[in-house]
Amino acid sequence: MSRIWDISQPLHTAVPVWPGEPAFALHSHAVIGDGCPVNVGGMFTPLHAGTHGDAPLHYANDGASSADCELDAYIGPCVLLDVRHARGRVEIADIDWDAIEGSERVLLRTYECFPHDQWDSDFTAIASDVIARLGAMGVRLIGTDAASLDPEQSKTLDAHQAVKAADMRILEGLVLDDVPPGRYELVALPLRIVGADASPVRAILREIA
C-alpha cells in the first residue's frame, strides 16, 4: 500500500481565519437518547478557512464557482518544492525550475512549521511573475501552505490575477511540514457548493509507486 500524507488542516472552532472572518463553528442538532437514535451536527465555515481551493469566482465576477470547476486540475501527479529560503515573497530565483519540468501541479512549502494555532499575517506570498512562468510551462494548479498567494494587505491581487490569466487553479492553507520534496499524486477536490468562491478540500498526497 503506497503511503498517504494528509496535507489538510484540522477544522475546529479555533482554526485561524482571515482577519475579520467569522470563526469556524460546529453545531449539535440532535444527540442520542430519549428516543433519538442519532447524533446530528451541522457546521459554519468561512469558505477560505483551513485548507481550501479558490474558485475563479473569488477573483472574477464571471469566474466559475466551486460547483462548476473542472475537477481534473485537483487530482493527478504533482511536484512539491521546498522554498523555505524565500523571504517575504517567492521570487523567480527561489525556485528550482528544472525540478518542475513536465509537472502540471506545483506545491510550494514556505513554512518551517505550519502555524496551526495563530493567524500569520506575514505569510510568504508568491510573485505574479512566478505564477506567469508556471502557467507558461503548462502548470494548471499552484498550491501553497500560505493562507493566500498574495500578501494579506494586497488590493490588486497580482498573483491571483496571473492565475486567472493562465486559467490555473489554486490550493491554499496546505500543511506540508512532514512531506519531503518530490513527486506525488495529489487529490484535493473542492466540494460542489453552488455559487461558492472557494471550498474546503481534504488534500492528500500519495507516493507514486
Q: Name the binding residues for Zn(2+).
A: 48, 52, 54, 160, 172
- Enter the DSSP assignment of 36: B
According to CB under 5 A, which one of 15, 49, 54, 131 is a site residue for Zn ion?
54
- Catalytic residue (one of 12, 58, 85, 116): 58
Residue of minimal Cβ distance to ligand NFK: 148
Alpha-carbon span 119 to 15, nearest angstrom: 9
CB of 100 to ligand NFK, least distance (A): 22
CB of 36 to Zn ion, least distance (A): 37
Strand 105-109's sheet: what is its strand order?
Answer: 4-6, 204-207, 182-187, 75-82, 105-109, 141-144, 169-172, 52-54, 198-200
Q: Which amino acid is at 77?
A: P
Q: Which three cell numbers stand for residue 70?
A: 473542472
Cβ proximity to Zn ion, 78 vs 168, nearer residue? 168
CB 178 within 8 A of CB 5: yes
Nearer to ligand NFK, 123 or 184 (CB): 123
If the CB atoms of residues 39 and 121 are measured against ligand NFK, the closer one turns out to be 121
Instruction: Supply 186's cell numbers.
Output: 495529489
Interaction between residue 169 and ligand NFK (CB under 6 A): no
Q: Is residue 116 annotated as part of the catalytic site, yes or no?
A: no
| Catalytic sites, residue numbers | 58
